[in-house]
Structure 1
Amino acid sequence: MSLLLPVLVRGINNLSDARYCAGMGADGLIFTLDPSLPGAVDAATVKELAGWVAGVEIIGEFGGTMPVSEINRLVEECSLTRVLLRDSSQPVTAYSALTVPAVLEIPQMAAYDGEYHQQAQKSFTAALPAGFELLTRALDFGPDASTDEGYRIMAGAAATAPLWLSGSFTPETLPALLAAVQPAGLILQGGDEIKPGIRDFDELEALFEALEE
C-alpha cells in the first residue's frame, strides 16, 4: 500500500499494531523506550516485535531527561534508525552527539507563534543538528476547520523547518490539510489490544485509506 506522504505510528506496544501498521504502508513504528514516559516498553519487547515486521523503520521515543549516551546505547541494542525526542528542556545542540537522525517534538503554541517563527527563520533552522526534523500537534479543527487562516499558519510553520504533524486527524479533513500545509509527514497514534491478538483498527484503517495514493 503506497501512501501520499511518510507516516509513522507511535505508541506501538503489541504485535497486532506492529504488523497491521507495517502492512498498511507505515514508514516507521515508534516504541516508547524511556521508562519515565507513559506506556514504555523494554528493549526486549522492541526487538521481539521488530522481528515480525520488515521494510519499516524502528524508532525509539525518549523524554528530555535521558542522557544522550543512554539513548545511543538503546539505538545500538534495538537497531533503531531514528529517535523521537519529547518534553525536552535541553537546547537542541545538546543532542548533536546522537548517532541517528531525530525528530524533536515542540509545543503546539511555540510551533505556531508568529514571533517564534520570525526568529526561527533567522536562526533556529540553522541551529538544528544535521538530520533533525520537528514535530508538533496540528492546530485543532473547530467549526471553521476549512478556513484559509488555519492552514496558512500551519503552512508557515512547515516552511520554517521539516515539520511532522500529530493530532486528531479525520479522513474528512486530511486531504485539505495535506494540500495546504505540505508537512514532512504525519505521526499517528497506536493503541492497546482488547486482548492478546485482538485489536480494533477502525480508526486507523480510515486514516490509512484516506492517505492511500
Structure 2
Amino acid sequence: MPSLESFLDPATVSLKICGVTTREDAGQLVAMGVDALGVNFWPRSKRYLPPEDAAWLPDLAGKILRVGVFVNEPPELPLRLVREGYLDVVQLHGDEKPEDAAAFREAGIPFIKAIGVKTQADLALATGYGAMAILLDAHAPGIYGGTGEVFDWEVASEFRRENPDLPVILAGGIVPENAGLAAMSVQPAALDIASGAEISPGIKDFEKVSAFLTALHR
C-alpha cells in the first residue's frame, strides 16, 4: 500500500501525476504503479475537478496516494475531504503563509506546501510551515502550477542540501526527456508532473507516464 512515508523516502524518486480529472485515468495510474495522483480543487485551474465530481476518490484508498491541491482555500473544504476519505494529503499551492497552515498542523493532517521559485529568497519561509514536504515549482504569479515552465534546479539542490530532513518534491516543466536529469541533479523525494504527462489539460497521456517510470528506472 502506498504511504506518505514511502512516497517521501529519499532512497527512491517517487512519481506524482497531478491534475487527474477522471476515474478512468486514475485507475490507469494505479495499474501502472504510479505512487501518487493529484486532484486540483482550485476552480480557476484548467484541471479543476469539482468536489462533487470526485466521488471515485474514496475507492482508491490504499491503492495510490491521493493528494488534493488547493489554492488560498480556507481549511474547511480540504479538512472535510480528508476526514471523509477522499484524500490522504493536502497540497497548499497558493500564497499561504505559515500561519494559514495552522489548522492542518493542529488537526494532525499531513500537508505539502508548494512554493513558486525564482530565487533562493522565495524559500525564506519554507521551513516555517511544518509541512511534510516542500514542493518547488516554477514562479508563476496567479497561475499556481501546471505551466510547463522550468526554474533553476540549482536553487532546489541548494535548498535540499541545506534542509536534509525536509523532503523536496520537484515540479515545473519536467518531461520524460529531462526527468532522469532532474532526479539525478536535484535528488528530490519525488517528481510532480502535470502538463508533462498530458494529451490536453486534465487528460493524461499514458505513453508519457510510462516514459517517466522508465526514466526513473522503475
Kept after mapping to 2: 8 A contact 1:105/1:134: yes
Question: Which ranges of structure 2 fall in alignment gaps of 5 or more residues?
Answer: 1-6, 139-148
TM-score by length of 1: 0.73
Output the CA distance in 2 between the equivalents of 1:115 and 1:59: 27
- 1:1-213 equivalences under 5 Å are 4-51=12-59, 54-64=62-72, 66-88=73-95, 90-98=96-104, 99=107, 100-109=109-118, 113-116=119-122, 120=124, 124-125=126-127, 127-129=128-130, 131-137=131-137, 140=150, 152-159=154-161, 160=163, 161-189=166-194, 191=198, 200-213=205-218
Q: Does structure 1 retain, via aligned residues, the 8 Å contact 2:15–2:190?
A: yes
Structure 2 residue matching 1:47: 3-state secondary structure: coil
CA deviations on 1:112-144 (whole Å, 9 max, x unpaired) are x24456xx4xx752x222x43211226838xxx
Distance apart, 1:16 and its partner CA: 2.8
Counterparts of 1:86 and 1:42, CA distance in 2: 17
List alignment gaps of at least 5 residues for structure 1: 142-149
Report how far residue 6 of structure 1 moved: 1.7
Larger Rg: 1
CA RMSD of aligned residues (A): 3.0
- Aligned match of 1:146: none
SS at match of 2:84: helix
What is the aligned residue count?
189
Q: CA deviation at 1:201?
A: 2.2
Separation in 1, partners of 2:215, 2:126: 33
For 1:10, give the aligned amino acid: C
Paired residue secondary structure (1:203): helix
Question: What amino acid does structure 2 have at the position aligned with 1:8?
Answer: K
Percent identity, aligned pairs only, is 23
2:3 corresponding residue in structure 1: none
Do the aligned residues in 2 keep the contact of 1:16 with 1:193 (CA within 8 Å)? no
Q: Normalization by structure 2: what TM-score?
A: 0.72
